Amino acid sequence: MKTLDPLAGVAAFLSVAETLSFSRTGKLLSMSRATVSAQVVELEKRLGIRLLQRSTRTVTLTEAGAAYVQAMSGVLPQVREAERAATSFQKDAVGRIRISSAPDLGPDHLVPAIAKFLDLNPGISIELDLSLDTVNLIDEKFDLAIRGTISVDPNVITRQLGTSPVVVCASPAYIERHGAPDHPDALSSHSCLHFSKLRWGRLWRFTREGVDAHVPIEPKLECNDGRSLLAAAVAGMGIALEPTFVVGPAIREEKLVRVLEDWEITTVPVHAVYPANRHIAVKVKTFVSFLAAHLADHPDLRQTSA
């Protein structure tokens, strides 16, 4: 069987070279064993040299075949990336979007936006992976990440979707029992609820009129999930330091009360993050633009850049 696509033969050969099996290669490439064999034979004819030694039970590489594998092994990933880049310019927003996000952003911010977006774009489906782990967008095949982060990797492309101030708060019941701290230093006598992934560690940093207060704390509860700390604060366990995209609704519903309001802490920008060496598909651009508009007027995530 002749093929007009020389790369098809290369793909078949490289897969056989890895699996040492025409049958397993056929399953991997969704083609028959006979088609795999024909493509490899066509490649050998074109090159004028045998690449594989075949017997009834085994397949092995010839010396020429091993040299060809070494020379060609980087070609297919480049071809696939070129194809992906070309198809990213499709006119319609269709296909699957794989998104990585911090868990704190998922239920209250991303999922409501995704629900509206999918209603408007029935040709798109979304896979949402919620994790605090740093992901390699290319290796793990994510289209983008949505992160609430203080620093952004310079090797990625970002679009800022909003920003959220970090505040200190507690339940009215806790304040009634223990009083409200009048200075950051007073936190040493309170039960503190600490986010274990805080960049500064167990050090809460405050600023007022150019004066800094850096307060080491011994957490009553330490947790790597902001929504769990929110639940603990509402339950009256102590004072929490959290971004408003986590605690904002509870403050507005008066389940929590802000303390030390005259002290500034920091803000957490929320970004859409893309791999720097990839073209951005229409489906992804469409989703990010929608998400930016969705968050633009949110009281806890006001958009700050286009």
Q: What is the pLDDT of residues 168-215, one digit of tens each?
A: 999 999 999 999 999 999 999 999 999 998 888 899 999 999 899 999
pLDDT score, position 86? 62
Check whether residue 220 and residue 277 sit in a common domain: no
pLDDT score, position 88:
56
Do 81 and 25 have their domain in common? yes
**Alpha helix ranges (H) inside the chain:** 6-19, 22-29, 33-47, 63-72, 75-87, 111-120, 172-178, 226-234, 244-252, 282-295
pLDDT, tens only, 206-218:
999 989 999 999 9
User: Quick one: tokens of 243?
Assistant: 């971004």
Residue with tokens 């070129």: 82
Residue 177, pLDDT score: 96
Domain housing 239: 164-267
Same domain for 274 and 258, yes or no, is no
Pairing state between β 144-148 and 257-259: unpaired
1 domain residue, yes or no: no
Residue 56 lies in a domain: yes
Domain CATH code at residue 286: 3.40.190.10
Q: Are residues 109 and 155 in the same domain?
A: yes
Residue 172 in any domain: the answer is yes
The pTM (predicted TM-score) of the whole model is 0.65
Q: Which residues pair with 147 in a beta bridge?
A: 271
- In the predicted model, residues of the chain with pLDDT beneath 50 are 1-3, 303-306
Q: What are phi and psi of 301, to 5 degrees?
A: -145, 75
Q: What crossing angle do the helices spanning 6-19 and 63-72 adopt, rounded to 10°?
A: 110
273 and 262 housed in the same domain = no
Q: Is residue 120 located within the same domain as residue 181?
A: no
Domain co-membership, 192 together with 47: no
Same domain, 225 and 184: yes
> Residues 230-249, buried b or exposed e (16+ Cβ, 10 A)?
bebbbebbbbbbbbbbbbbe
Residues 198 and 51 in one domain: no
CATH label of the domain that carries residue 259: 3.40.190.290
232 shares a domain with 193: yes
Count: domains in the chain = 3
